[in-house]
Structure 1
Amino acid sequence: MSFEWTLFSVIAKSATLDRNPTYYRILGGCVAGGGASGSWGDGRARVLWRPSDSGTPAPCWSRSIYAPAGTVMQADVEELSIGFNMNIPPPYRLKAGTYRGSITYRIGPGGDFDFGNDVSNLSGDSLTVNFELDVQHAFMFEFPPGSDRAVLEPRNGWQAWLAGGKAPQRLYRDLPFRVWSTGPFKVYKLCQYDTGAKCAIKNDGGEQVPVDVAMSLPAGVQHRGQAVERLPLPSGRLAALQFEAAMPTLNRPGQLHFEVGRNDVQAMLQHPGSTYTGQVTVVFDAEL
């Protein structure tokens, strides 16, 4: 986070407004941040200054446009207010949590805030500004009913093969979901039957084949700055993929992809009448 002072507002009272040193000409490294106002009845002036360059501020001072040169006038500062800018990374790129910090400025001659010569009755010699930012993200994945069961089939079902056609090139199932996400998260998979990087499905005879598990996400979510399109999911929390929010994503479509490749389909067809099953758990983890 970067933090900078941008405005200074003063209410100062002197014997007469035309001798008030804050009213009305601004000199040095500041310009008017808005109109100045004054009360002729009680000598009170209200001014707003803006540093010309808040990154490298230069000394600022004022001079009455009415008082003759050499005039000395005491003014009591009744109120000093300060405006500021806070520049933070986009919240949707931050992990959820509470962020805290502080910065201390020196007040007095030669300090960060130097109010000039003959200034008295300062309330202290330092100012500490404390920051607290609470980041809370929306995070939800919604699957339609029945998504707990993915039946892997050829593109147009089994009828063509049962009628004497060619063996299917692949078996697959795409499961749609809707996603709400305004921050980063991780995804990984857990397998009932593990074949290294892939999960497997197994029949009653103990024969098993690997299943590719991949995911596609809407454009608002990226992995390493790239769109997420059929990205293979790793196994285990330590290998989890981290996804970043390119923009807040609300109620957008995504898909999980399950697929058995051609060579493994051929192996399955050597065991007609058997059923291959296995569990795959896909974990969406917002606790980074």
Structure 2
Amino acid sequence: MKSLIQGTLCLCVAALATTANVWAGEALITAQVQGSTFVNTTPKASYCNIFASGRSCQNLWTVDLPVTYRKLVDVRSGDDRDKVYIKLPPRQALTLQNQSTGQTATMSIAFQDVSQRVSYLHERVVGTRPINCTANGGLIGGPRYSQFLWYTTNTTNPPACISDKAGNAQVEDSEFTLSGVSFRPEFPAAASLAPGRWEGVIDYPVGMGQGFDFGNLVSTDASVIRFRVRFEVLHEIRVDFPAHGTQVELTPDGKWDTNRNTSRVPRRLYHDSPLRLWAGSPFSVYLACEYPSVTRDCILQSDLNTHRVPASVAISLPGSFVSDGQPVARLPLLERVENARIITPTATATNAPGTLHFEVDGAGTAQMQRYPGAKYSGAITIIYDANP
């Protein structure tokens, strides 16, 4: 028993020691969801202000890399890793999670551009035509430093980019700063994501054959570069009704004129109200009633006495909408949010036609006939929630 306890303690100490040797820098990627589009809100990388007055980063996702390192750069070395050398990570997937619901989704990140500032004491160590990559925007120089911007066309598994500089007889003790990259995020469909804050993390180790490989290093202030992706999903919905307002009058088939001189009770009183709808993600619909009922319908109240009758509300939408996998055809709507109907567009709907059906059935109509001259009314609110 004692040996088992000692063994466990040794394992814990080893794990702590291993963790303590990891130095991580974090790059934060942020976005804003507008409809079905992810809009980039990540601060631009520092190099964007250096090359082409920012035009080199136009319409690109860029970010600074939280890493600074030193290496002895020998442009005459037979080992390319002793030169200015960068291998970007291959395209990789990461898991996103809704911080409220726990729902998960997958996205990927692929790298394309890379920029760094490289110091030197005697002579620059960066050439103008990198091997395996292409220079973008030339080479920017200053007092004992060069800033380059390279890009690769293979973003699935970028090759190592190597400086072609030759002729420097010195081995330069160079510091690499202001590192930045451009990348292409591939987000999931916004309509498939539940409302709320989403986050995902992917770690890229720094080192030989690792995520970010900068060649043979003397020292680095980060052994892991962490990318954290963060965005908020807030879906939108728009519903338009006819310009004549929201007052609805229920009438029998053929209107009142054809029913006025007959003793036959109308089989129903109803009104079909058209609507137009814009939606790109699931939404819920439910009722709020001035006079609620135990049947979860709304009630209409007589102005002459306390007599009440139930009024049903249903919705119909075109075939591009479903609820519980079924077409939305006279789908009954109920009172209170816990009874909400979830309706899902199978594609982004723009100006889609729909109908709200208001009705008092034959039994209710027969009861109303017992009170001639009475006017029945009640406020019925239809609530559309774009973020159920």
TM normalised by structure 1 equals 0.69
Q: For residue 172 of structure 1, report the CA deviation from its aligned partner.
A: 0.7
Q: Does 1:157 align with 2:258?
A: no
2:138 to 17, 26, 37: 37
Q: For residue 255 of structure 1, report the CA deviation from its aligned partner.
A: 3.7
- RMSD, matched Cα: 4.3
- Specify the alignment match of 1:194 in structure 2: 293
CA distance in 2, matches of 1:239, 1:16: 74
CA distance in 2, matches of 1:39, 1:201: 77
CA distance in 1, matches of 2:178, 2:368: 85
Q: Does 1:24 align with 2:129?
A: yes
Question: 1:24–1:62: 8 Å Cα contact kept in structure 2?
Answer: no
Q: Give 1:198-277 correspondences, 5 Å limit.
A: 198-199=297-298, 201=300, 210-217=310-317, 223=323, 228-244=328-344, 246-247=347-348, 249=350, 254-261=354-361, 263-264=362-363, 267-268=366-367, 271=370, 273=372, 275=374, 277=376
SS of 2:284 mapped into structure 1: strand
Paired amino acid for 2:333: L
Distance 1:92-1:286 versus aligned 2 partners, 3 A rule? same
- Specify the alignment match of 1:85 in structure 2: 184
Question: 2:310–2:364: 8 Å Cα contact kept in structure 1?
Answer: no
CA distance in 2, matches of 1:244, 1:127: 39
Distance 1:195-1:179 versus aligned 2 partners, 3 A rule? same
SS of 2:338 mapped into structure 1: helix
Q: Give 1:37-116 correspondences, 5 Å limit.
A: 37-38=138-139, 44=146, 46-50=148-152, 52-54=154-156, 57=157, 60-62=160-162, 64=164, 74=172, 76=174, 77-116=176-215
CA distance in 1, matches of 2:224, 2:233: 29
Show structure 1 runs of 5+ residues with no match: none
CA distance in 2, matches of 1:10, 1:49: 12
Q: For residue 277 of structure 1, report the CA deviation from its aligned partner.
A: 3.3
Cα deviation, 1:16-60, whole Å, max 9, x if unaligned, reads 56xx46653524xxx43x547347997947241326253xx3651
Distance 1:283-1:45 versus aligned 2 partners, 3 A rule? closer
Distance 1:164-1:267 versus aligned 2 partners, 3 A rule? closer
SS of 1:264 mapped into structure 2: helix
In terms of fraction of residues, the more helix-rich structure is: 2
Paired amino acid for 1:37: G
Q: Does 1:170 align with 2:268?
A: yes
Question: 2:240–2:276: 8 Å Cα contact kept in structure 1?
Answer: yes
Please say which of residues 87-96 and 119-128 is displaced more in the overlay.
Answer: 87-96
SS of 2:366 mapped into structure 1: helix
Question: 1:223–1:244: 8 Å Cα contact kept in structure 2?
Answer: yes
CA distance in 2, matches of 1:123, 1:220: 54
Distance 1:195-1:209 versus aligned 2 partners, 3 A rule? farther
Cα deviation, 1:143-199, whole Å, max 9, x if unaligned, reads 55652x432102331111223497544321123456565654321124535363644
SS of 1:155 mapped into structure 2: coil
CA distance in 2, matches of 1:269, 1:103: 66
Question: 2:191–2:280: 8 Å Cα contact kept in structure 1?
Answer: yes
Q: Does 1:9 align with 2:110?
A: no
SS of 1:157 mapped into structure 2: coil
SS of 2:249 mapped into structure 1: coil
Paired amino acid for 2:313: V
Q: For residue 80 of structure 1, report the CA deviation from its aligned partner.
A: 2.5
CA distance in 2, matches of 1:89, 1:100: 13
Cα deviation, 1:262-287, whole Å, max 9, x if unaligned, reads x4377347636264736444333345
1:128 to 226, 235, 249: 226
CA distance in 2, matches of 1:175, 1:257: 6
TM normalised by structure 2 equals 0.54
State, as a whole percentage, how many aligned pairs show the same letter: 25
Cα deviation, 1:92-128, whole Å, max 9, x if unaligned, reads 55444333343333223453222222x2232222222
